[in-house]
Chain A
Amino acid sequence: MLLEVRDLRVEFTTREGVAKAVNGVSYEVAEGETLAVLGESGSGKSVTAQAIMGILDVPPGRITGGEILFQGRDLLRLKEEERRGIRGAEMAMIFQDALSSLNPVLTVGDQLGEMFVVHRGMSKKDARARAVELMDRVRIPAAAQRVRDYPHQFSGGMRQRIMIAMALALRPALIIADEPTTALDVTVQAQVMDLLAELQREYRMGLILITHDLGVVADVADRIAVMYAGRIVETAPVHDLYKAPAHPYTRGLLDSIPRLDHKGRELYAIKGLPPSLTAVPPGCPFHPRCPMAQDVCRTDVPPLYAVEPGGAAGLATGEGRGSACHFWRDCLEGTGSR
């Protein structure tokens, strides 16, 4: 397995108290696999990614438990120096807003070349030649001329391509893309996602796609992990999840996608707001907003149940599905009331 996150816990110390941003998250990514991590703002999906990359701000953040196994090594036990060597070379990250993720005072060629200078010790001239190759690879027209342009001289889609080129420069084994298309036009979104998926296939990289856009997920992901209040509430192969969600939160998300055949009807919305991370409700964190909530949900935290078919064995190998709902069977059958 390329990456295994086991029972990861991250806390932030804030004025209001300790916020448990990530509360026992486990997931796995195999070589060449795309895992989509889905969730609202504040569900802990980005913090998990930052913990994996090792770019969490400490303080106020703190990793309080769990392990992150990357190619068999526990990243949390490595020295900062060793982790820095891994960042960029073996795992890389693509950020949401490419304009603010590129340094405005350096040319894109300098920034792309920096990858080779930092990790490979190349000369500036060689690094520049590689930068041009990379820009060609992500299909930026006239790369040889544009290599000396500044980030603000590119369009949004082109900038995101440059970010992708930077992330892929050293052919890392794992890419984490944190909402890579959120800041782009819908048409450009598709192009950028296609490019990313194509390069991923070609280089056989593992990809963690962090998003809140269910439309993007359906096209490219192999598996989905849905996060809520710092936990994974459901994990499943992408088509199973779309066909029949096994958690009421996932079902709420799917129901709130605008659909053409529902034109004129009121759009469904999950009532209420995500809980504050400093005061997560006891029991199932979703129960105050859940249409299926029973007494047991208010007291008992649901573990990640193995969902049939596949069961516990399937969940352990990463093939099956899991749901952190006491009533996943009802949810799967669609008998839960709204």
Chain B
Amino acid sequence: MPEPRPNTDPGELDGGRSDDGAGPEDGAVAGTGFGGSMDLAADEGRTLERDPEHDGAEPAGRPRSLWSDAWRDLRRNPVFVVSALLILFLVLISVWPTLLTSGDPLDCDLAKAQQGSQPGHPFGFNAQGCDVYTRTVYGARTSVTVGVCATLGVALLGSVLGGLAGFFSGIWDALLSRLTDVFFAIPVVLGGLVLLSVVTSNTVWPVIGFMVLLGWPQISRIARGSVITARQHDYVQAARALGASSPRMLLRHIAPNAVAPVIVVATIALGTYIALEATLSFLGVGLRPPTVSWGIDISSASPYIRNAPHMLLWPAGALAITVLAFIMLGDAVRDALDPKLR
């Protein structure tokens, strides 16, 4: 899921802090030692209030970690709130499209082809006489699936390969860097036309696989640079001087300090993958009917743009809003995670 991702990280940190458990008791003991029932009440209050409001209850001006700072910034950022709500909505309707429509996107009546808005069919009908509203709702599922799966795949593959290259450097780093250069040299649309035109499968997986194949070098480069930066920090040297092993240094000391740029780029990339799926479907090499996709609908509606523009505008509008929401979210997350912008 794209949306909860930036939230879970600070959440995990806070969670880690709270389930240590010793804290509230310590506070209560110290407080009662001071004497008086007021103290006890105050400590009760503090115990009950512990996280997530815990941060707010602390003395003002006490800085928190990068993640909880970022989460506080995000909650106050209207761009984040709007885009997060939009994405939440999209995720909801892609999981349960029946919340918004009782129709079947493949239930078409040629007699109603290209007709405009009618009661019960607010967006009208497309060239095949299918309900545009239902198809637009169901199209969200494809777009969100492709976007989320491609982003997860790209982020995992890219950050593992890039992270290892950055950490171990040397010959593997050199090889991997040249390999990313090779992949960068492949034009995405041309690559899609060549590679996907030979695929016969009707599912979303070839498209996702193609995006992962061409997308990982971008994340890999960022993860590599980010790990190299983090590796040079004194605390990594210090951890090494105190006997930490390589996996421990990488997972516990480097990764949490290097993951922020990867999250930012992946969130922004999610929007572009959704747009790319539509592009490939438009060109006829992405998804194919009977899969319901905004790209397919845009493609099939484009010849009729002059006499039945509604067939094009609704899926295109939905696509534009979705892509915008993910890119806005990425922007907000980047602003929150970049300490220099604070």
Residues of A within 8 A of B (CB): 53, 55, 84-89, 92-93, 95-97, 100-107, 114-115, 118-119, 128, 144-145, 148, 150, 152-153, 163, 166-167
B289 to chain A, nearest CB (A): 48
Contact assessment for A100 and B241 in the assembled complex, using a CB-CB cutoff below 8 Å: no
Select which of A87, A105, A153 is within 8 A of B243 by beta carbon.
A87
List of A residues within 8 angstroms of B178 by Cβ: none
List of B residues within 8 angstroms of A101 by Cβ: 234-235, 237-238
A71 to chain B, nearest CB (A): 16
Given contacts A97-B234, A101-B235, contact A88 B63 (CB under 8 A): no
List of B residues within 8 angstroms of A163 by Cβ: 238
List of A residues within 8 angstroms of B20 by Cβ: 128, 148
Report if B66 contacts A (CB, 8 A): yes
Segment of B84-92, B126-134, B251-259 engaged in the interface with chain A: B251-259
Select which of B233, B242, B248, B257 is within 8 A of A92 by beta carbon.
B242
List of A residues within 8 angstroms of B30 by Cβ: 145
Nearest residue, chain A, Cβ from B27: A145
List of A residues within 8 angstroms of B234 by Cβ: 95-97, 100-101
A85 to chain B, nearest CB (A): 7
List of A residues within 8 angstroms of B66 by Cβ: 104-105
Give the distance in Å from the alpha carbon of A96 to the alpha carbon of B64 in the complex.
24
The prevalent SS among residues of B at the interface is helix
Contact assessment for A118 and B238 in the assembled complex, using a CB-CB cutoff below 8 Å: no
Report if B200 contacts A (CB, 8 A): no
Total cross-chain contacts (CB, 8 A): 90
Select which of B26, B67, B235 is within 8 A of A100 by beta carbon.
B235
List of A residues within 8 angstroms of B62 by Cβ: 153
Contact assessment for A88 and B65 in the assembled complex, using a CB-CB cutoff below 8 Å: no
List of A residues within 8 angstroms of B253 by Cβ: 103, 106
Report if B17 contacts A (CB, 8 A): yes
Given contacts A103-B235, A105-B257, A106-B252, contact A87 B26 (CB under 8 A): no
Give the distance in Å from the alpha carbon of A163 to the alpha carbon of B238 in the complex.
9
Contact assessment for B26 and A92 in the assembled complex, using a CB-CB cutoff below 8 Å: no
Given contacts A95-B237, A105-B256, contact A84 B17 (CB under 8 A): no
A183 to chain B, nearest CB (A): 11
Nearest residue, chain B, Cβ from A107: B17
Give the distance in Å from the alpha carbon of A119 to the alpha carbon of B241 in the complex.
13
Contact assessment for A119 and B243 in the assembled complex, using a CB-CB cutoff below 8 Å: yes
B211 to chain A, nearest CB (A): 31
List of B residues within 8 angstroms of A86 by Cβ: 243
Residues 1 to 20 of chain B near chain A (Cβ within 8 Å): 13, 17, 20
Nearest residue, chain B, Cβ from A169: B242
List of A residues within 8 angstroms of B252 by Cβ: 103, 106, 114
Give the distance in Å from the alpha carbon of A55 to the alpha carbon of B237 in the complex.
7
B165 to chain A, nearest CB (A): 16
Give the distance in Å from the alpha carbon of A95 to the alpha carbon of B239 in the complex.
11
Contact assessment for B240 and A152 in the assembled complex, using a CB-CB cutoff below 8 Å: no
List of A residues within 8 angstroms of B22 by Cβ: 128, 144
Give the distance in Å from the alpha carbon of A92 to the alpha carbon of B66 in the complex.
29
List of A residues within 8 angstroms of B257 by Cβ: 103-105
List of B residues within 8 angstroms of A102 by Cβ: 235, 238
Residues 225 to 271 of chain B near chain A (Cβ within 8 Å): 233-235, 237-245, 248, 252-253, 256-257
Report if B52 contacts A (CB, 8 A): no
List of B residues within 8 angstroms of A97 by Cβ: 234
Residues 62 to 93 of chain B near chain A (Cβ within 8 Å): 62-67
Report if B303 contacts A (CB, 8 A): no
- Which 5 A-B pairs rank lowest in CB-CB distance, beginning with the nearest? A88-B243, A88-B242, A100-B234, A93-B241, A87-B243
Contact assessment for A167 and B242 in the assembled complex, using a CB-CB cutoff below 8 Å: yes
